[in-house]
Amino acid sequence: MLDKIFRNTQTEKPFLKIFSENPNIPPPIWFMRQAGRYLPEYRELRLKTSNFLEFCYSPDKASEATLQPLKRFEFDAAIIFSDILVIPDALGVGVSFKKGEGPVLNKIQNIDDIEKLKFDIDHLKPVYEAIKITSKKINKNKALIGFAGAPWTLATYMIEGGSSRDFINTKKWAYSSEESFSRLINILVESVSSHLIEQVKNGAEVLQIFDSWAGALTSDQFEKWVIEPTAKIISNVKLACPDTPVIGFPKGAGTLYKKYAEQTGVDAISFDQNIDPVWIKDNINIPVQGNLDPLLLAYNKDKAVEKTRELLTLFEGRPFIFNLGHGIIPQTPLDNVSAIVNTVKEYG
């Protein structure tokens, strides 16, 4: 029988209080990709490994990168430094990162390729070791977030062989051979579930599921390839880790965010910058996260501060996590980040 992982719900961590539906003033704050290239200390650390995956699989370095933004800014949570594509890598799909091009994967092209996939959780031991190290080093009032990519998004990378604008190969497969595509999605559901549970076993206190390309689907396909697989993952995670909150992020989902929030079982939902925050307030009944534009943060500090105050006022009195609508970009000035963190911390 699967052992259940229970957390002590009596916590002084502001980030975790949100999931018991206790609105904080000020709300907790963290940024997606807060450990990354905008930090000079990260760039220096990154030079110590020859490639990105090697860095992700170096527990001490990954832990150090995870904690760097907390040493510089008053974020309330750290997200473990890793990548969503470690799962395809652990499935035996060749994954590499090319400078100026991004991720490159050996393409999955047919059912025979799918049947060759086998999730090797031991391949990801360095990720879990990084979490274990970080959980011992992180400040007692800060939370540690684990994460994974969602099945649909991972499938697009595996079939397209990397990033894509139109996902034509993935959509063609999903439409023309639903049975075999479902086989791939089911393999990813089980792999993602195992990966998330293992992260909790090693010290992750909150989980986030990134469905970065959810917005590429029609409403009926969104329900089949985003909502249904995510609901299965949440069910698997909650069976093993009933007290671990899960944040969902179906980027680009538009009004389908509402259905996602209602039908997947996530404890909170993160919004991209293209959703009207008033719509969020009026339509979403679970804790929310986001949705400051990362480009606004990078290129107009004063307006970013103004927008931050608007969001704080709008979501006052309900469970809210201050975050960006997507990851912080490398060009973001450190002073801009400090300005937003200070604005949030001084609110109320």
Catalytic residues, by residue number, are 33, 37, 46, 83, 157
DSSP state of 226: I
CB 33 within 8 A of CB 328: yes
CB 145 within 8 A of CB 213: no
Residue found by looking up tokens 């940024």 in the block: 31
d(CA 214, CA 217): 6
User: How many CB atoms neighbour CB 2 within 10 A?
Assistant: 9
Q: In DSSP terms, which residues pair with 104 in a beta bridge?
A: 96, 162
**Distance in angstroms between the alpha carbons of the first and the last residue of the chain:** 47
Q: In DSSP terms, which residues pair with 95 in a beta bridge?
A: 105
Half-sphere exposure of 309 (CA within 13 A, CB side): 9
The H or E element spanning position 341 is: helix 334-346
Taking alpha carbons only, the member of 250, 256, 235 closest to residue 189 is: 235
